[in-house]
Amino acid sequence: MTRNILILGGDGIGPETVAEAEKVLGALVSRFGLDVAVDHALVGGAAIDVIGMPLPEETLDKALASDAVLFGAIGGPKWDGIDRALRPERGLLALRSKLGLFANLRPVTAHPALAQASTMKPEVIAGLNIMIVRELTGGIYFGEPRGFVTSANGVREGFNTLRYNVTEIERIARVAFEIAATRRCQVCSVDKANVLEVSELWREVVESVARSYPAITLRHMYVDNAAMQLVRDPKQFDVIVTDNMFGDILSDLASMLGGSIGMLPSASLDAHGRGLYEPIHGSAPDIAGRDLANPLAAILSLAMLLRHSLREHGWAEQVEQAVGAVLDAGLRTADIAGSGGRRIGTREMGDAVVRELLAQAGK
């Protein structure tokens, strides 16, 4: 059965990095007979420029009809001035919400060859392997009411609402426990239960879900402490589960442990295996279009797509191994050049991964 993949390049370095992932996918199709059909559509600023909105209906329809979405990045200074409701970021948030992508998986690993590229001491990060499970369709990002008001004395106020119900907490907790069961069986739930009622509920519900997973060790940590512990001793973590905004912040922090944000993929999943896969690096407009961006996060996002939505575990591993081999061979884009090796551009990096993939399979 042919599986449908929608590719949304978006803005900034999005299109050029997903193009390299598409090259890798193309090799799997043409050289190894993987049965997928690829389509493209506009999102973010690119869609605003052409259609006037960040998530055109056609794009949403195509995404709803696909088995998985491979996403680049969105946003940039060009669209910063426009109305909040029409910003590029809204396109991504609407996609997450409309596709029901409540579970965001952000793996953080430190490839040994990149230890020198990290600002951390090599012994602190060697062997690092954390999975951040971020709730993605609730919390303060989506909570109502929200908006601006002017009080009786004429002072303007902006406000948002942080709320979670039991069902939302239960399902993200379950995802975290299931993943932990395939790893080192430890879950750290991150909240702010010393201050927030919503965190108190979060803790209670995570505890109750934990009762169905006796093999998993659960602990709780306040978010400020978690930020500190991630820098002090990141290897103490296996799976971290947390809410939408805490996960946003902690995942950027954690991304630098491994050396470069340019290396990290992510998966955003619904309840049935459909997913949106994106590098977490964002649109980086300052280096866009200059063949400087690191495409490995996009290629590793493709590996996650193969694993989680297409259930092609073998190919997912092959792609990850090819990325590892290219790094071992000393090939480096600018962001990871601090670790030595030979400096190459975006396209050459994509070509190198394809070559490695073919070599692994003896082609």
How far does CA 153 lie from the centroid of its chain? Answer: 43
If one asks whether residue 135 binds Mg ion (CB under 5 A), the answer comes out as no
Marked catalytic residue, from 35, 39, 80, 224:
224
Residue closer to ligand IPM (CB basis): 305 or 326? 305
Whether 248 is catalytic: yes
φ/ψ of residue 39, rounded to 5: -130, 165
Site map 81..120 versus ligand IPM, x via CB under 6 A = --------x--xx---------------------------
What is the b/e burial string over 241-252, where b = at least 16 CB atoms within 10 angstroms of the residue's CB?
bbbbbbbbebbe
Marked catalytic residue, from 62, 67, 164, 192:
192
Look up residue 2 and give its DSSP letter. P
92 makes contact, choosing from ligand IPM, Mg ion, none, with CB < 5 to 8 Å by partner type, with ligand IPM
Closest distance of CB 26 from ligand IPM, Å: 26
Closest distance of CB 92 from ligand IPM, Å: 5
Closest distance of CB 282 from ligand IPM, Å: 7
If one asks whether residue 191 binds Mg ion (CB under 5 A), the answer comes out as no
If one asks whether residue 248 binds Mg ion (CB under 5 A), the answer comes out as yes
Q: Strand, coil or helix: what is 225?
A: helix
- In sequence order, what are the residues at sequence separation of 6 or more whose Cβ sits closer than 8 angstroms to the Cβ of residue 310? 3, 36, 67, 68
Rounded to an integer, what distance in angstroms lies between the CA atom of residue 47 and that of residue 339?
A: 37
Q: Strand, coil or helix: what is 57?
A: helix
Residue closer to ligand IPM (CB basis): 248 or 320? 248
Number of residues forming the site for ligand IPM (CB under 6 A):
4
Whether 252 is catalytic: yes
Rounded to an integer, what distance in angstroms lies between the CA atom of residue 56 and that of residue 59?
A: 5
If one asks whether residue 176 binds ligand IPM (CB under 6 A), the answer comes out as no
If one asks whether residue 335 binds Mg ion (CB under 5 A), the answer comes out as no
How far does CA 274 lie from the centroid of its chain? Answer: 15
Token pair for residue 45? 């600023």
CB-count burial class (<10 Å; 0-12, 13-18, 19+) for 338: middle
Closest distance of CB 73 from Mg ion, Å: 11
Residue 328 half-sphere exposure, CB side, CA atoms within 13 Å?
Answer: 7
Residue closer to ligand IPM (CB basis): 92 or 316? 92
What is the b/e burial string over 340-354, where b = at least 16 CB atoms within 10 angstroms of the residue's CB?
ebeebbbeebbbbbb
Site map 216..255 versus ligand IPM, x via CB under 6 A = --------------------------------x-------
Closest distance of CB 298 from ligand IPM, Å: 14
Rounded to an integer, what distance in angstroms lies between the CA atom of residue 12 and that of residue 296?
A: 16
Whether 222 is catalytic: no
Whether 224 is catalytic: yes
Chain residues that interact with Mg ion, rule: CB under 5 A: 248
Catalytic residue numbers, as ranges: 141, 192, 224, 248, 252
Which spans of this chain sit near ligand IPM (rule: CB under 6 A)? 89, 92-93, 248
